Structure 1
Amino acid sequence: MEQADVLKRAYAMPLTNPSYPPGPYRFFNREYIIITYRTTREALEKVVPAPLEIDEPLVKYEFIRMPDSTGFGDYTETGQVIPVRFKGEHGAYVHSMYLDDDAPIAGGRELWGFPKKLARPKIVHEGEVVVGTLHYGSVLCATGTMGYKHKAADPEAIKAALEAPNYLIKIIPHVDGTLRICELVRYHLIDVHLKDAWTAPAALDLHPHVMADVAKLPVLEVVSAVHFTADLTLGLGEVIHDYLADQPAREPIAKTMLDPIVSQG
């Protein structure tokens, strides 16, 4: 393969058999359970990166069933989203995401910088209750329960929340282990078609896990919950802040890790 062919074909890894196709990525019949809860400001201050600012001490715990999406297929996702402000504009910082499909994990991390990890989230309907769970391996990390379609929700409010800006930290290491990319990324959900939306009482239980640390943002009080379905497109992102701009060069991780061994020898 000639160098020109490499550049012509390359858009994702592996070069000759990428994990996901080019976008755009359209989702049909996305089912959401979003349980908004109050947590401590101290917990949020440890995880929300500047220049983002904490809005209220709230977290939106999301369970999302995606049965039909172009390029990414059929999968389920869950995670925590934190209301924030950026230069006075209200939006949401995506803090954690756990899902069960390789293509959106690879594509989400490489393209936007989504904090995606492989796990086993589920949404099931059990009689009069909608149940969302997250297992990391064999361990139960999160359980959300919500009454089934008790009262119609405000569609305009939900659509506005979906269309608000979202923020991510994209991190790509260099081959020597130092940071090559560390950026604050903004993206939007676009072409949103909300199909139905409901509210009901809800409960949320989070359990500590070393690799799925959802419990580090503790539940003090459940504030509200919505259950809805929508078609939408995941818009591509834009870099709005470069953390490495004007920063001095850093030591390679490999050298840093070897220093204690060398000094002991």
Structure 2
Amino acid sequence: MFEPEYTILPDYAPLYPQLPFHYKNYRKLSVYCRGERAAIERFLPKQFEYAGDVFEIFVLTNPEISGLTPYSEGGIVIPCKYRDIQGGYMAYEYVDTDESLCAGREIWGYPKKLADVTFEENEGKVQGRLVRKGKTIIDISVDLDDTQVDQPNLFPRLIVKRIPKADVYGVDVDQVILNEFENVVIHSRETGSAQANWEYSSFDPLAELGPVEVLGGVFVVADYTLNYGKVLTR
């Protein structure tokens, strides 16, 4: 007999299963850029402190996830600090399935939106692209020529989870969440010279992070487990 999961809607046919989610052989392309402090600080919530001028633009594809339909995603991760914890804030994140969208927003507070995601691997080159509302808001590529890049510390993830009130303007929930990846296994890691472009959109103003200096890119194939986070403020 079906037992409803009352923490997930709708009761009789939940959109996504209970955690944890196990990701296998995900393929992630990351491009690291140096930007101006003033531009980066505009993207940080008031709870977080500026922690560096090198941030990540990424596109990835998840071919196998326990309980979820495979999906692809991309976004922007900015180094930040909360109290004595340094990590990475997901300033913008885009996915191409409703399961991932709702699970990410409802459980942890990741600021996910739907977009068209393209991920391509060719001999010696990997490319990723996000298109939303007719604008190419992320367009990155890496030539796998062993160019090295110093990656900033972007883990654990630090997120602001907000849920609006239903009866008046305001929020019922405004929490800082710490989310760590578990059981990480790196199968391969390649580096190279990178390119990054974006088209300005008033709906998704990622381009306001520019102008930037592109430092290089990393292509990783790996596994990890995504589990519940830790609430740092209530």
What's the TM-score once normalised by structure 1's chain length? 0.81
Moved more, 210-219 or 14-23: 210-219
Conservation of the 8 A alpha-carbon contact between 1:153 and 1:198: no
1:109-124 correspondence runs (5 A): 109-124=105-120
Structure 2 portions without partners, runs of 5+: none
1:149-160 correspondence runs (5 A): 150-151=145-146
Q: Which has the higher helix share?
A: 1
Structure 1 residue corresponding to 2:143, chosen from 138, 147, 156: 147
SS of residue paired to 1:12:
coil
- Tell me the distance in 2 between the aligned counterparts of 1:152 and 1:198: 9
Superposition misfits of 4+ residues, deviation over 3 angstroms: none
**What does the per-residue CA deviation read over 1:120-174, in whole Å, with 9 as the maximum and x for residues that have no partner?**
11110234321111111432222101113x33979xx98x957x31111111112
Structure 1 residue corresponding to 2:187, chosen from 195, 210, 219: 195
Name the residue aligned to 2:57. 61
**CA RMSD of superposed structures (Å):** 2.2
- Whether 2:77 is the aligned partner of 1:81: answer yes
SS of residue paired to 1:36:
strand
Name the residue aligned to 2:164. 173
- In the alignment of these two chains, the number of paired residues is 232
**What does the per-residue CA deviation read over 1:14-68, in whole Å, with 9 as the maximum and x for residues that have no partner?**
1221110111101000111111101111112222123321111222101111111
Structure 2 residue corresponding to 1:228, chosen from 220, 223, 231: 220
Q: CA deviation at 1:102?
A: 0.8
Structure 1 residue corresponding to 2:31, chosen from 29, 35, 57: 35
Name the residue aligned to 1:247. none
- Whether 2:201 is the aligned partner of 1:209: answer yes
- Tell me the distance in 1 between the aligned counterparts of 2:19 and 2:165: 25
Moved more, 82-91 or 193-202: 82-91
1:41-52 correspondence runs (5 A): 41-52=37-48
Amino acid at match of 2:222: A
Moved more, 11-20 or 50-59: 50-59
**What does the per-residue CA deviation read over 1:161-205, in whole Å, with 9 as the maximum and x for residues that have no partner?**
57x311111111121143100111111001000001011000100
Bigger relative contact order (CA 8 A; separation at least 6): 2
Conservation of the 8 A alpha-carbon contact between 1:37 and 1:219: no
Q: 1:228 to 1:110 in 2, by over 3 A?
A: same
Q: CA deviation at 1:108?
A: 0.6
Moved more, 117-126 or 47-56: 47-56
- Tell me the distance in 2 between the aligned counterparts of 1:18 and 1:161: 35
Moved more, 136-145 or 36-45: 136-145
Larger radius of gyration: 1
Q: % of aligned pairs identical?
A: 25
Structure 1 residue corresponding to 2:103, chosen from 97, 107, 123: 107
- Tell me the distance in 1 between the aligned counterparts of 2:32 and 2:26: 19
Structure 1 portions without partners, runs of 5+: 243-265
